[in-house]
Amino acid sequence: MDDPVIRLTDVSREFPADPPVRALHRVSLSVAKGDYVAVVGPSGSGKSTLLNTLGLLDRPTSGSYRLDGIETTTLKDGARTRVRGSRIGFVFQAFHLLPHRTVLENVALAEVYGGDRRNRWRRAERALERVGMTHRAGFMPGRLSGGERQRAAIARALMGRPSLLLCDEPTGNLDSRNTALVLDLLDELREQGHTIVVITHEDEVSARAGRRVRITDGILTEE
Ligand code: ADP
Ligand code: MG
């Protein structure tokens, strides 16, 4: 049996304040390879804290987080950064594309850590193929529709062949037509075996995932 991609065990995150804020409380979650999980919950419930934890951008106060079987909570900063760079692809609501670079450059230049530099441009072209954006490779992001920008951002996230695609409100800036296109793409990526976690407050988005978990006041429950 493979290790699950994500295994959180009793993860808590408290922020120092008076009284302390308990953003995650004893969260346990296991996500297998190929799972597509939506995380829902009201504003302030702990979704971003969970995403930051899963993305190795924040450390739990207590508990264990194994990513591909690697215990991440005890890694030093450099090792954590390498694990993040090689195993996690991020997709954000606001796309975060470089405005003065072409789509292809945005994808190819994303890779800061490791990777095989010689094949970088070929792999960027293939990533664009996978999101149906080959015909926009030479465009500047400003000339793209919102849906195309997000597809370019997803191609960038796929560049390093991550084990985990972590999406934070990926359709939050899109109209309904472009939302549908991006959700279709996530379905295709799921079919290709990608492991996807999507944070969203939109029912339309969470309905597409195979599995839904809810966070309320830092407590996670399976739906
Ligand atoms: P969501 O993304 O679901 O809106 P968050 O994870 O951003 O929720 O926040 C969960 C709780 O933790 C909220 O009460 C928020 O105010 C608090 N919180 C988040 N980040 C910090 C921080 N850096 N310092 C103090 N409190 C924080
Ligand atoms: Mg948030």
**CA–CA distances in Å: residue 134 to residues 59, 97, 128, 190, 211:** 38, 17, 5, 20, 31
Instruction: For the full predicted model, state whether its pTM sits above 0.85.
Output: yes
Q: Whose CA is nearest to atom 24 of ligand 1?
A: 15
Answer yes or no: are the C-beta atoms of 31 and 39 closer than 8 Å: no
Q: Residue 84: its pLDDT value, please?
A: 93
pLDDT digits (tens, 9 = 90+) for 161-211: 899 999 999 999 888 988 998 999 999 999 989 999 999 988 889 999 989
Question: Is the CATH number 3.40.50.300 carried by domain 33-59+74-222?
Answer: yes
d(CA 151, CA 164): 17
Q: CB of 87 closer than 6 A to ligand 1? A: no
Answer yes or no: are the C-beta atoms of 19 and 35 closer than 8 Å: no
Residue type, 150: Q
Would you kindly state where each structural domain of the chain is located, as residue ranges?
33-59+74-222
Q: Whose CA is nearest to atom 14 of ligand 1?
A: 44
Answer yes or no: are the C-beta atoms of 63 and 11 closer than 8 Å: yes
Q: Say which residue the tokens 């230049």 belong to.
A: 109
Beta strand residue intervals within 33-146, DSSP E = 36-40, 62-67, 70-71, 88-92
pLDDT digits (tens, 9 = 90+) for 21-32: 999 999 999 999
Average pLDDT, the chain: 93
Q: Whose CA is nearest to atom 11 of ligand 1?
A: 23
Share of the chain above pLDDT 70, in %: 97
Ligand nearest to the CA of 215: 1
Question: CB-hemisphere CA count at 13 Å for 167?
Answer: 32
Closest Cα partner for 39 from 28, 56, 51? Answer: 51
Q: Whose CA is nearest to atom 13 of ligand 1?
A: 44
- Ligand 1: nearest atom to the Cα of 24: 10
pLDDT category, 142, cuts 50, 70, 90? very high
State the distance from the centre of ligand 1 to the C-alpha of 99, rounded, in angstroms: 30
- Ligand 1: nearest atom to the Cα of 45: 3
